[in-house]
Amino acid sequence: MDSNFDQLRYRDREEAGKILGTRIPARFHTANTVVLALPRGGVPVGFEVARALDAPLDAFVVRKLGAPRQPELAIGAIASGGYEVLNRPLIAHLGISELEIAKIFDRETNELHRREAAYRDDRPATEVRGHTVILVDDGLATGFTMKAAIMAIRDQGAARLVVAVPVGPLDTCEEIARLADTLICPLQPTHFEAVGLWYDKFPPTSDDEVRECLMANHAHVSRGGHEPWR
């Protein structure tokens, strides 16, 4: 688990992605490697990682399931293909009913499908079976969205799964490291609070920005790569 780092925060997602790109071991710099980034904020980070590896980039849509009266509190997550992770002890503690969970699930599933359609412009999802997958986000908090993504990508037959994130709390990183083949997370603070606190600039990422990153990568890969990016 990579956690040796000599700075305390990142300027923005672009810098975080560039730093992550330098931390990917040489053994993953192959034609068999693909980068999947969690929208929205993970995609600008993943773009820089894909550029460093000269690898294809795609969005892998995961949606947090927020508690009914505390939407920022994750009670679970869903990922493409119908995969879900639920925090049953927390759900029981909060007294959330199965009907409430079903309503949240339906709402977030609709948004997941909307984003998949919006980001790819009818392009098929990137094939992961037999590939090394670098799974990227702009940071870990509870880790529920990342867990759902890991489950889904494992089930799709990835040969090797590397989770690469700029920052995450130590306990969450240890948990994710047990699920992935490799975890790369340069900054693992003991006192974490929130992902955005570890960036100087952390504005919301728009759907348009996600599409621009994916289109730029797709155009580069379609040309055969191995040339300066725009």
The gap between the terminal CA atoms of the chain, to the nearest Å, is 33
For residue range 181-204, list pLDDT tens digits in order: 999 999 999 889 899 999 999 999
Collect all residues with Cβ–Cβ distance below 8 Å to 228 and sequence separation of at least 6.
Answer: none
Cis geometry, peptide bond prior to residue 9 (ω within 30 degrees of 0): no
Return the closest-CA partner of residue 60 out of 155, 142, 141, 148.
148
CA–CA separation, 159 and 154 (whole Å):
8
For residue range 127-162, list pLDDT tens digits in order: 999 999 999 999 999 898 999 999 999 999 999 999
Cβ proximity of 199 and 9 under 8 Å: yes
Cis geometry, peptide bond prior to residue 120 (ω within 30 degrees of 0): no
Question: What is this structure's pTM?
Answer: 0.90
For a pLDDT cut of 70, what percent of the chain falls above it? 94
Q: Is 178's pLDDT higher than 70?
A: yes
Cβ proximity of 20 and 136 under 8 Å: yes
